[in-house]
Amino acid sequence: MKYFLLNILSPLLPHPKIRALWLKLLGASIGEGVRIENVRFIQIQYPVSNLQCGNNAFVGTNVVIDLSAQVSIGKNSLVGPGCSLLTHQDAGSFFDSRLSEIYPRHSEGILIDENVWIGADSTLLPGSSIEKFSVVGAKSLVRGTIPARALAFGIPATVKKILVVDY
């Protein structure tokens, strides 16, 4: 039933603000003015309350959101289309893969602070943290922390420049 509510019914809702309200009704913490385009949820056996979006956050089309651990998107932040917010890694522990002995299942939340822009098709791995006023360039792979006011991009994403922000 949860799969139907999240991944079948949600995309049929006609407007991103209505979709945000729908997710709020299902248990997500959604601020005012949040817009959520057609997204895909994985690991939906975990609570929808693992999703938190601050006021005026925007989540673009075809974003994958992993509900294994908390995903927090700060106010005025933008997650570009095609991004993946992955809060777990699992090499097949559910079917006793030998790889899971080497790479055990791991879950850790993702924090996207306020006034952050995550460029299209970027991937944030478990435990990633993007601090205030930072920009992650398109098609980047983030693992760890991107400091405040940084421009970071690449595979893996590295800080290329500290931005001047007068706030």
Is 83:122 a contact under the CB 8 Å cutoff? yes
Rounded to an integer, what is the distance from CA 9 to the centroid of its chain?
Answer: 20
pLDDT tens profile 116-127: 999 999 999 999
Alpha-carbon distance of 148 to 165, in angstroms, equals 10
Q: Identify the pLDDT of residue 167.
A: 64
Most confident of 1-15, 53-67, 96-110: 53-67
Report yes or no on whether pTM surpasses 0.85: yes
Q: Identify the pLDDT of residue 48.
A: 96
pLDDT tens profile 92-113: 888 888 898 899 999 999 999 9
Grade residue 84 by pLDDT with cuts at 50, 70 and 90.
Answer: very high
CA atoms within a 13 Å half-sphere pointing along the CA-CB vector of 70: 9
| Percentage of the chain lying above the pLDDT 90 cut | 82
82 in helix, strand or coil? coil
Query: Of residues 136 and 92, which shows the higher confidence score?
Result: 136
Q: Is the peptide bond before 16 cis (omega within 30 degrees of 0)?
A: no
Grade residue 157 by pLDDT with cuts at 50, 70 and 90.
Answer: very high
